[in-house]
Structures are given as structure tokens and as C-alpha cells.
């Protein structure tokens, strides 16, 4: 078996997977929904950016040189913001985070890997001196509350940063 078959589990022209098992039938509706899922510029992310910008904060997007590629980065404050979808990142206690009933042998480990990756990225950023904020998809449905939360956190960090800067001069 070549490297590509092993990595991607390619299906041959006979319709059989590389390991000889027949591929699972996929519901076309589920396939269509999964194709529409975006990694960048999602509605919750755009809402969060709009709130930050209107509050006077300036930021960079998707800094690939930082662990976890944060969705929004405020370099001056050294803040990395992750805008997480409640379903994919399994937001605890959120009604949007219900795992699928079909194929739990696939979904449970997948969600565990995502959670571990999130923890690792946050830990690495904090070890580099960055503050990490997580905005959940469900929070973006109440922009006023999200705006208040972000402003409170970022203004506190801004004051802390200016105090440190004055102390060093």
C-alpha cells in the first residue's frame, strides 16, 4: 500500500477501500452539510470581529506562526482569541453541542482529539506569554453580552499592560 492510500484511505476504481472493506454509505444530505462547514470567516467569527473593531480594538486574523492558529490576534495586548463552534469543540452544557447518535465510535474520539488539540494550543500560547480568550458560537447570538465580556477582559488586560510599560520606563 502506498503512502497516499494509507494516509487518506483512498478508494480504488472498483469502489473498495484500500483495506478491502466496502465504503460506508453516506447520506447525501449529511455530505452536503459537512461540505458547507467553513474553517475561517464563519458567522460567529465575523460577529466577534465586528464587536472588537467597533470597540476600538485592532487585530490580525489567523496568525499561522502562533500555536493553534488563533482566529483573532490582538498583538499589542498579546491576546489570542479562538472562536469555537459549540458542536465541534463540544461546549459543555450547550444545547448546540449534542454529539451525533450515529457512529459514536467515530465521533467520541474525534471530539476528544479536538479538545486535546485546543488544550495544547492554549498551553503553548500561555507559555509564550499570550493571553487566551475563547468565544463560543452560542455567545455570539447575544452580541451585547459578548461585547460587554470582551470589553471587560480586554480593557483589564490593556490597563495591566500599560501599568507594566510605565513600570519599565
Beta bridge partners of 81: 72, 133
According to the per-residue pLDDT averaged within each range, which of 1-10, 16-25, 64-73, 149-158 is highest?
A: 64-73
Q: What is the pLDDT of residue 27?
A: 73
C-alpha closest to that of 62 among 34, 90, 42: 42
Tens of pLDDT, residues 33-50 = 666 666 677 889 999 999
Q: Judge contact between 87 and 96, C-beta under 8 A.
A: yes
Tens of pLDDT, residues 126-156 = 999 999 999 999 999 999 999 999 999 999 9
Q: SS3 for 162?
A: helix
Q: What is the pLDDT of residue 11?
A: 42
Mean pLDDT of the 157-165 span: 77
Cell numbers at 43, concatenated: 458567522
pLDDT over 50 at 30, yes or no = yes
Lowest-pLDDT choice from 16-20, 47-51, 85-89: 16-20
Mean pLDDT of the 120-127 span: 97
Domains of the chain: 40-168 (3.40.960.10)
What's the pTM value of the predicted model, to 2 decimals?
Answer: 0.75
Q: Judge contact between 42 and 83, C-beta under 8 A.
A: yes
Q: What is the pLDDT of residue 102?
A: 87
Amino acid at each position: 500500500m502506498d503512502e497516499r492510500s494509507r494516509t487518506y484511505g483512498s478508494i480504488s476504481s472498483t469502489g473498495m477501500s484500500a483495506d478491502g472493506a466496502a465504503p460506508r454509505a453516506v447520506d447525501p444530505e449529511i455530505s452536503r452539510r459537512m461540505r458547507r462547514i467553513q474553517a475561517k470567516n464563519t458567522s460567529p467569527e465575523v460577529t466577534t470581529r465586528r464587536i472588537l473593531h467597533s470597540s476600538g480594538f485592532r487585530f490580525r486574523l489567523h496568525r499561522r506562526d502562533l500555536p493553534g492558529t488563533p482566529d483573532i490576534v490582538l498583538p499589542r495586548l498579546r491576546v489570542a482569541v479562538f472562536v469555537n463552534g459549540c458542536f465541534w469543540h463540544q461546549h459543555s452544557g450547550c444545547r448546540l453541542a449534542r454529539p451525533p447518535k450515529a457512529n459514536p465510535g467515530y465521533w467520541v474520539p474525534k471530539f476528544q482529539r479536538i479538545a486535546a488539540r485546543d488544550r495544547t494550543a492554549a498551553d503553548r500560547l500561555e507559555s509564550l506569554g499570550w493571553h487566551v480568550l475563547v468565544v463560543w458560537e452560542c455567545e455570539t447570538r447575544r452580541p451585547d453580552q459578548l461585547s460587554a465580556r470582551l470589553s471587560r477582559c480586554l480593557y483589564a488586560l490593556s490597563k495591566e499592560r500599560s501599568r507594566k510599560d510605565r513600570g519599565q520606563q
